[in-house]
Structure 1
Amino acid sequence: MKKPAARFFRSVTRWEDLPDDGLPEVAFAGRSNVGKSSLLNALLRAPGLARTSSTPGKTRQLNFYRVNEQLYFVDLPGYGYARTSQEERRLWGRLITRYLQERPTLALVVHLIDSRHPPTPLDEAMMDLMRGQHVPYLIALTKADKVSGNRRAQAVREVERALQARAMEVPIIPTSAHTGLGLRDLWRWIEQVSLGKS
């Protein structure tokens, strides 16, 4: 797979600052410390482009990365980190919810869930938010290299049960930023949905 040409474009904290060039956007959502930045860096084959941190919840804005001058990857603030203030979480939540529900250029939402743990109530709340939305949605199970094959299969079943309870059918892709597991499949979905490539 050819290395994408990717660069940081903009951090956004207000709706009016979102890009207005009409390029499709692929949003990455997940709880704090789920490995979002690591997965973005692995997908883009650009270590350090998306900043990883030992401090969960550090991303406090929508970070836009321009990819191949064709689309954006959007790193959404991680949800569920207790040390952020209630007011901050409320403001993030309002912007993120509006972005996921109203953004016309949003082409795909990639929801990251840690394969080592069952979906949390906040993960399930994200499923509830995406239920009934028209934007394509898939789940990437992160850190799949850190669990056995049996545990990986169990993680898929746990997510399937949570989705079935909501009458949702969603692709589930086990991934690893470390080994590259699932990245080709994830790219295939991104290109198919956002760029119309088969």
Structure 2
Amino acid sequence: MALLLHQARFFTTVNHLRDLPATARPEIAFAGRSNAGKSTAINLLCNQKRLAFASKTPGRTQHINYFAVGTADDPAGYLVDLPGYGYAEVPEASKQHWEVLLSQYLKTRAQLRGLILMMDARRPLTELDRRMIEWFAPTGRPIHALLTKCDKLTRQECVLALRTAKKGFDEYKQQGFEGELSAQLFSALKRVGLDEAHAVIENWIVPPADTSAADEAAERPAR
């Protein structure tokens, strides 16, 4: 089913909750701090170079971008690229807009099946990362963290980063958060963790019981 992601194409962009598309297909959201490598990861997962764009001014993009996966006439689902957060130079009004847009989308979007949370492996679980978790985890839907740029760490540092993320997630579970919380190492440069991330996203878009439908969608030629 990885072919579904490889067929990804731009669908729409929205700047207000009222403009969210009236689709019934599953949505997988991608969130992360500015410069965490979110756009690069999406491009790699979809086997494309310029599907998702990083803003030339980090933190300035305040739009939600939708990418359809699967065939053009019958998408299996959507990847939803959320605005990056945490950049110091962003005006206060933009920060407030970001907070309302992201929090309400994460809390209320019925089509949302899971959250891919990008965290720089050198700085996992920042205050803003935790805010994203605390907005979304009460929905009971899964969160999977990609600890990006792990190629910049030694093997021992990678082990420590992954342990830190999982320990933080265990603390949320102890607090009563019901959704699945998982984490992995990821490097777009070295292609570390690509298969694992693919598997998570694929199972969210089309659960294993529905893989036959996914295979049919992947085999249909794009129009």
TM over 0.5: yes
In the aligned structure 1, how far is the partner of 2:124 from the partner of 2:186?
Answer: 16
Per-residue CA deviations over 1:54-94 (Å, capped at 9, x if unaligned) read 53214311011111121111110111112111111111111
In the aligned structure 1, how far is the partner of 2:164 from the partner of 2:127?
Answer: 13
In the aligned structure 1, how far is the partner of 2:185 from the partner of 2:26?
Answer: 24
Q: 2:41 is matched with which residue: 39, 42, 49?
A: 39
Q: 2:167 is matched with which residue: 161, 165, 175?
A: 161
Q: 2:104 is matched with which residue: 98, 120, 130?
A: 98
Q: What is aligned with 1:50?
A: 52
SS in 1 for 2:119: strand
Larger mean CA deviation between 183-192 and 124-133 belongs to 124-133
Calculate the aligned-residue CA RMSD, in Å: 1.7
Q: What is aligned with 1:111?
A: 117
1:138 aligns with 2:140: no
Per-residue CA deviations over 1:21-44 (Å, capped at 9, x if unaligned) read 211111001111100000000000
Residues 63 and 76 of structure 1 are in contact (CA less than 8 Å); yes or no, is this contact kept in structure 2? yes
Per-residue CA deviations over 1:3-22 (Å, capped at 9, x if unaligned) read 71111111111112111121
In the aligned structure 1, how far is the partner of 2:29 from the partner of 2:86?
Answer: 18
TM-score, length of structure 2 as denominator length? 0.83
Q: What is aligned with 1:70?
A: 76
Residues 140 and 174 of structure 1 are in contact (CA less than 8 Å); yes or no, is this contact kept in structure 2? yes
SS in 1 for 2:90: coil
Relative distance call for 1:58 and 1:197 in structure 2 (3 A) is: farther
Q: Which has the larger radius of gyration?
A: 2
TM-score, length of structure 1 as denominator length? 0.93
Per-residue CA deviations over 1:92-149 (Å, capped at 9, x if unaligned) read 1111111101101101100111002242111122222233222221111111122111
SS in 1 for 2:190: coil
Residues 64 and 83 of structure 2 are in contact (CA less than 8 Å); yes or no, is this contact kept in structure 1? yes
Aligned pair count? 198
Q: What is aligned with 2:182?
A: 171
C-alpha deviation, 1:165, in angstroms: 2.5
Larger mean CA deviation between 57-66 and 1-10 belongs to 1-10
Q: 2:11 is matched with which residue: 3, 6, 9?
A: 9
What is the correspondence of 1:178-193 to structure 2 with a 5 Å cutoff? 178-193=189-204
SS in 1 for 2:208: coil
Q: Percent identity?
A: 35
In the aligned structure 2, how far is the partner of 1:131 from the partner of 1:67?
Answer: 25
SS in 1 for 2:94: helix
Q: What is aligned with 1:123?
A: 129
Q: What is aligned with 1:18?
A: 20
Consecutive unaligned residues in structure 2, runs of 5 or more = 210-223
Q: 2:86 is matched with which residue: 51, 63, 80?
A: 80
In the aligned structure 1, how far is the partner of 2:81 from the partner of 2:22?
Answer: 17
Return the structure number with greater helix share: 2
